[in-house]
Chains A and B, each alone.
Chain A
Amino acid sequence: MRTILSRLAVMALVLMFVLAACGGQPAATEEAPVAEEAAATEEAPAAAEEAPASAEPFVFGMLLVGPYNDNGWSQAHYEAGKYVEENLGATMLYLDKVNPADRPGTTPDQLAEELVAQGAKLVIFNSDDMKDASTAFAKAHPEVYVIMASGDQVWSDGKAYDEMANLMNIMGRMEYGKMMGGCAAALASETGKIGYLGPLINDETRRLAASAYLGAKYCHEMAGNDPASLEFKVTWIGFWFNIPGVTLDPVQVSNDFYTTGYDVVISGIDNPVNLGEAAKLKGEGKNVAGVAYDYVAACEAAPDVCLGVPYFNWGPEYVKAISSAQDGSWQSQFLWVAPDWADINNVDTSAVGFEKGAALSAEDAALLDGFIAELAGGLNLWTGPINLQDGSAYLADGEVASDQQVWYLPQLLQGMEGLSASE
């Protein structure tokens, strides 16, 4: 038995190498980019400048933290990649489910190298979860352009500035979108109790949950309600989406909200699972609704209970960034892009938009439109007096928050229920 089994192992290896030899051609071509990597100089833009304007399409890679069709964060990126392909004639390579639960034993920087080996000259890391890996990758591969979405490494006024000529940070000012979502939730809620399905806790998620609260508070009062009657509770699940046995189950969290009087739940995670639960309960006669997140068509998951979706439109910024990599005008920069207030739903110009859902009444829709017009006109809800959750003053009366104060919000705000940081 021993020798017999052993031969199987040897045979398997032999077969592997024989087949590898048969497939020698692809192996050889894959070597090429690796060799280039080694030969490349420190100067990031140099490669692009020297590159002749060939007919070969520019290849860019994308690492998605969730499934490419998650109806949320990752799908918004995937569709933006398609938009780049259409507009620039470039070719996208992507790998989805890039997280330790789905791809055990791998790291995002390792997977980015796989995309480079397949010809990618630029790699988009699409999640906060990949921030450290994107830094490691950008430093190890100065000749490859890197876009780290939602990060702040190259924000010279940021807390974690790290100069990298080949890396760019891009993020939409979703604070506005979340305010609209919060507003829609407050207008539609009959109990005045709004639940917020939070992912993990960090600067980004705190400021977005807080923005949703600010929008909800504003519209709750605008509709003539007693300010004290608004309840806004955040429950964090621990990651951007459900990982069984690791995170809280977002379906269960949504159900807990809906069955304890929170008649509207806003999704802050990478997909709109709250809508599914709302649809189920609505079928049982409960009057509940939800706000989706991230992806323009997210409401289609359950239109009857969807009040709307604040979404990212990454396409226009990706087109700009990738064409700058192509023509050599690339600049390492931190971009935090506001909606195009002329038309927040313009697919070619606006980084952040809001798509109203079928569950939003015509009356509430009109009020929401009024709110959006006010935002477009300069209304800034990040204006004091604003206190942090522990009661300490964050913004004095009339004080307008700086970008740093919004980006690095240290706690949730006074009036919000839920953890500001891990216990």
Chain B
Amino acid sequence: MLKSRLGGFVFQLIAFLLALGFVSLILLAVGASPFDAYKNMITGSVGSGRKFAEVLVSFVPLLLVTAGLLVTFSAGLWNIGVEGQIVLGAIGTTWVLRQFVESSVSPWLVISLAILGGMIVGAIWASFAGMLKTFGGVNEIFGGLGLNFVATALTLYLIFGPWKRDGVASMSGTEPFPEAFALPQLEGFRISPWALVIALVAVMIVYFILNGTYFGLKIIAVGKNIRAAYLLGIPTWQYSLYSFLICGALAGVAGALQVTAVYYRLIPAISSGYGYLGLMVAMLINYQAIWAVPVALFFAALNIGSIQLPIVMKLDSSLSGVLQGILVLFVLLTEGVRQKIVKKG
């Protein structure tokens, strides 16, 4: 039974309920009704079309980042540097847009070039972590973390320095771009259908690469057993680097969309923590591309739904982060327990 699908399902159910129970205990401890909190989070995320559109705004970068991470995870790499790759994508996009502020070039062309620019810069930034790993022997976790700090410092330097607003030195960000440089939104909503399409296409491409190509199979082979892959004739370090490039490109697009579809300028917190959240989503779905969409959507819904908590219940909205983290922990924990029982059995 434990080995069966049903058995696994039971364990996942237990994990989910444990996470809910744990968070409920926290809520009770601060004197709040867990039922009201969950109800507010749900109505706050799917209670109206406008709210669901906000969920999608959060879903787009999260899905892009998750899709990218699926590739690096498949190659057996922990690309913690994804947060910085989003930031560099945003910087690349901002740079391109700045070149055209005074020009009469078609906005469509400018936006396309800007997103492409973000994608390229994100990929280049990711290649740094890849090269540090390949040629410098620096573990990608440490290299990535270091590069994240450099990315933040670079953003601050640009915002307070060369790209500052006239007469202003504030972390509020750069001068907003003209409206023409914004990806068009659905009438009355903040979501840009173009951004949504880009994110969905990206995850489909990743699914196709990993499940339908020889290239993807090689990446997975490198991830499963790098020595065996090498012996089978796969150029392993190249494939590690390819996976970094793909992930960086997708994270770069996420950063590009944060600039062209959400903030319309560069701000210090442009990555909004989507890199780290994407890591959690990727872990939760056990690196299976097919589940990226629903789980990323669920996490985005938690993010947006939790905004209701401080407004309606005077609770801190970081509760959604607690729930997300605890969910991942319990899923990993119950999976560990299940494996142990299965082995004993």
Contact = CB atoms under 8 A, between A and B. Distances in A.
Interface of A: 1-13, 15-17, 19-20, 22-23, 26-27, 30-31, 34, 38, 93-97, 100-101, 103-107, 110-111, 113-115, 117-118, 128-129, 132, 199-203, 236, 238-239, 243, 245-247, 410, 419, 421-423
A107 B51 CA distance: 14
A26 B263 CA distance: 30
Contacts of B308: 114
Contact of B171 (A34, A38, A247): A247
Interface string B153-196: 00010001100100111111100100000000000101000000
B310 interface: yes
A10 B47 contact: no
A34 B50 contact: yes
B291 A5 contact: yes
Contacts of A2: 286, 288
Contacts of B58: 105
B46 A20 contact: yes
Contacts, number: 178
B311 A114 contact: yes
A224 to B, nearest CB: 37
Contacts of B160: 238, 422
B50 A113 contact: yes
B298 interface: yes
16 contacts: A1-B286, A5-B8, A11-B16, A13-B294, A13-B297, A20-B47, A27-B43, A101-B269, A104-B273, A105-B58, A105-B272, A107-B262, A129-B170, A201-B167, A238-B170, A422-B169
Nearest to B267: A100
B8 A23 contact: no
A231 B262 CA distance: 45
A60 B259 CA distance: 31
A364 B307 CA distance: 48
A114 B307 contact: yes
A19 B42 contact: yes
Task: Name the residue among B61, B295, B311 with the largest chain A CB count within 10 angstroms.
Answer: B311
A100 B15 CA distance: 32
Contacts of A107: 262-263
B41 to A, nearest CB: 9
Given A5-B291, A19-B42, 16 more contacts: A2-B288, A5-B8, A5-B12, A8-B13, A9-B285, A11-B13, A12-B294, A13-B298, A19-B38, A26-B39, A129-B172, A132-B176, A201-B169, A238-B156, A238-B170, A239-B172
Interface string B310-336: 111000010000000000000100010
Contacts of A236: 169
Interface string B281-304: 000111010110011011001010
Contact of B12 (A8, A22, A245): A8
B286 A31 contact: no
Contacts of A95: 307, 310-311
B268 interface: yes
Task: Name the residue among A7, A118, A199, A410 with the largest chain B CB count within 10 angstroms.
Answer: A7
B54 interface: yes
Task: Name the residue among A104, A200, A236 with the largest chain B CB count within 10 angstroms.
Answer: A104
Given A2-B288, A6-B288, A23-B42, A238 B169 contact: yes
Nearest to B258: A105
A34 B52 CA distance: 13
B139 interface: no
A419 B298 contact: no
Contact of A6 (B50, B170, B290, B301): B290
B106 interface: no
